[in-house]
């Protein structure tokens, strides 16, 4: 379709709740002229969220559901044990998974970074043929 002069836009999740490639969506990346990765708002601490955390105990990769089954989460909250509280850097043993403190554009704990980008975590792949 792109070679026929059509603009093709794909919006999809790029990873599973286990942070593994989701289906064949990543096979489209080498075919795209541009790739824009959007983030959601962490439903636990309000930072930018690039991951999906499953709330249930199902083992299947694809489980249909919404906010009752999944939460958008940041890296810190993804690795935090389910305690009902947002993750705090001083309570984590696996420090390599923490966001770097003071990174430009990154919200501090408790700030509503999500106010900037209230979007679902997915990739947008676009091809526009030359005119």
- Spatial distance between the Cα atoms of 14 and 25, rounded to a whole number of angstroms: 6
| pLDDT value at 100 more than 60 | no
CB 10 within 8 A of CB 28: yes
Q: Is 62 helix (H, G, I), strand (E, B) or coil?
A: coil
Angle of CA points 105, 41, 18, to nearest 5°: 105
112 or 4: which carries more pLDDT confidence? 4
The domain ranges of the chain are: 2-127
- Spatial distance between the Cα atoms of 41 and 48, rounded to a whole number of angstroms: 5
Q: Which residues contact 24 (CB under 8 A, 6 or more apart)?
A: none
Burial class (CB in 10 A: 0-12, 13-18, 19+), 39: buried
Residue 92's pLDDT band, with cuts at 50, 70 and 90, is very low
Name which of 59, 97, 95, 62 is nearest 78 in CA terms.
97
Q: For the residues 52-80, what does the mean pLDDT come to?
A: 83
Q: Is 75 helix (H, G, I), strand (E, B) or coil?
A: helix
Bridge partners, 122 (sequence order):
38
| pLDDT value at 84 more than 70 | no
The tens digit of pLDDT for each residue in 7-16 reads 888 888 888 8
| pLDDT value at 43 more than 60 | yes
């Amino acid at each position: 379709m792109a070679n026929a002069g059509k603009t093709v836009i794909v919006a999809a999740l790029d990873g599973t709740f286990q942070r593994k490639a989701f289906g064949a969506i990543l096979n489209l990346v080498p075919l795209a002229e541009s790739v824009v990765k959007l983030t959601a708002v962490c439903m636990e601490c309000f930072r930018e969220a690039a991951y999906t955390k499953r709330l249930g105990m199902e083992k299947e990769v694809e489980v249909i559901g919404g906010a009752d089954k999944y939460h958008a989460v940041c890296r810190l909250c993804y690795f935090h044990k389910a305690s009902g509280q947002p993750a705090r850097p001083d309570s984590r043993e696996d420090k390599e998974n923490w966001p770097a403190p003071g990174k430009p554009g990154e919200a501090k704990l408790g700030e509503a970074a999500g106010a900037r980008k209230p979007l679902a975590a997915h990739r947008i792949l676009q091809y526009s043929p030359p005119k």
